[in-house]
């Protein structure tokens, strides 16, 4: 699968057959990403009882795309096949591009500014993450 290489610093790392090096810091990043995804999903399940409250549904959506981004990033770091990594990267971008807009919708709903969310200019603003979504979903084909 791979061979162990000892760096001049004395830290042993594993070199995979593709040449990628996975060291202690890499393991920490992968574990942190996956724990962040699990924590976000746990919070979504906890908040489910507040669905229908001001902004709660949008906050759950925000946490869900955060979990998608963190989880896909963690999985992408573990995958060495370029095609699978491209798909994981596309899912990461999908979560990242919607994180800000969904949090903005949550904040506007929570503070009673629903009219702003339903306005034409705001909907036009959502065309940016919608376009980025199309790019992210087609990323494996034009990367």
- DSSP alpha helix (H) spans, the chain: 24-47, 56-78, 82-110, 114-117, 120-125, 127-137, 139-142
pTM for this predicted structure: 0.79
pLDDT at position 23? 75
pLDDT at position 5? 54
pLDDT digits (tens, 9 = 90+) for 55-85: 899 999 999 999 999 999 999 988 888 888 8
pLDDT at position 74? 93
Could you tell me which residue, 88 or 14, shows the higher pLDDT? 88
pLDDT at position 40? 97
pLDDT at position 19? 46
Least confident of 38-47, 58-67, 105-114, 132-141: 132-141
DSSP states of 43-70: HHHHHGGGTTSTTHHHHHHHHHHHHHHH
Token pair listed for 15 = 């070199």
- Per-residue pLDDT for 87 more than 50? yes
Residue 12 · residue 4 · CB < 8 Å: yes
Query: Is residue 17 very low, low, confident or very high in pLDDT (cuts 50, 70, 90)?
Result: very low
pLDDT digits (tens, 9 = 90+) for 119-134: 999 999 999 999 999 9
Query: Is residue 1 very low, low, confident or very high in pLDDT (cuts 50, 70, 90)?
Result: very low
């Amino acid at each position: 699968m791979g061979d162990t290489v000892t760096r001049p610093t004395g830290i042993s790392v594993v070199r995979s057959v593709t040449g990628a090096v996975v060291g202690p810091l890499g393991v920490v990043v992968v574990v942190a990403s996956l724990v962040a995804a699990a924590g976000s999903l746990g919070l979504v399940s906890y908040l489910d009882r507040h669905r229908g409250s001001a902004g709660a549904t949008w906050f759950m959506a925000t946490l869900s795309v955060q979990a998608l981004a963190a989880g896909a990033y963690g999985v992408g770091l573990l995958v060495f096949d370029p095609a699978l990594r491209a798909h994981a990267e596309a899912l990461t971008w999908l979560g990242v591009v919607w994180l800000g807009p969904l949090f903005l919708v949550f904040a506007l709903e929570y503070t009673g500014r629903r009219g702003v969310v339903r306005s034409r200019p705001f909907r036009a603003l959502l065309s940016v993450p919608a376009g980025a979504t199309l790019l992210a979903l087609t990323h494996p084909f034009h990367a």
